[in-house]
Amino acid sequence: MAKLYFFYSAMNAGKTTSLLQSAHNYRQRGMTALIYTPERDLRGGAAVVSSRIGLQEPAFPFGESFDLFEDIRARRAAGPVDCVFVDEAQFLTPAQVLQLTMVCDQLNIPALTYGLRTDFRGEPFEGSKYLLAWAEELVEVKTVCRSGRKATMSARMSAEGGREIEGEQVQIGYHYEPLSRHLFNLPACSPIPYPPVKPALAPLPPSGASAPPDEAP
């Protein structure tokens, strides 16, 4: 049977580049790959999946009420569908993740999703929670923190280069930086009320600062 995959990482790890390369591999072999992207993601333009290194492909946009299962089933009725790709999968609703399990289990079409696990405060995205719970294959796409450690978190940065730890979970116009959990300073920015007094958020060290040998990636 087909499987549901979740490729996850912090920001700037090359998830979209990997998605586009995989979709290209399918198409190069004469197979049909469908690409979906949230309609809120307009970085490369409407209905386009675009990577930071300049690769891009047209995609089917989806909003919160969009039924992925019904759309993919209708497209398969009109012609072969060999694989489904979803970019920015953290923005899927729980119902849409359920629909992707049905794409795999009832239509026997593999679904490959790519996204973030957590937001700028370390909180899990709703779509990612269900992907982590229900996907058969969980694949970490690795990237590196400025300290040299493996980056697992995504910090929201202001135009002046400072950390932002308040605001909406999804907010356009910010730069995000991948950080290790240690440098991210989770107790200072998590909304979880522990410890009783939040520690101060220390300035980030300069890029290239060495990680201790036992904590290097």
pLDDT band at 172 (very low <50, low <70, confident <90, very high): low
Please report the domains of the chain, with CATH numbers, ordered by start residue: 4-141 (3.40.50.300), 144-215 (no CATH)
Cα–Cα distance measured from residue 159 to residue 173, given in angstroms and rounded to the nearest whole number? 9
Cα–Cα distance measured from residue 71 to residue 68, given in angstroms and rounded to the nearest whole number? 5
Residues annotated as part of the active site: 88
Q: What is the pLDDT of residue 42?
A: 61
pLDDT band at 115 (very low <50, low <70, confident <90, very high): very high
Range from 92-106, 110-124, 141-155, 170-184 carrying the lowest mean pLDDT: 170-184
pLDDT band at 24 (very low <50, low <70, confident <90, very high): very high
Predicted TM-score (pTM) of the model is 0.89
Whether 212 has a pLDDT exceeding 70, the answer reads no
Cα–Cα distance measured from residue 66 to residue 197, given in angstroms and rounded to the nearest whole number? 42
Cα–Cα distance measured from residue 20 to residue 57, given in angstroms and rounded to the nearest whole number? 7
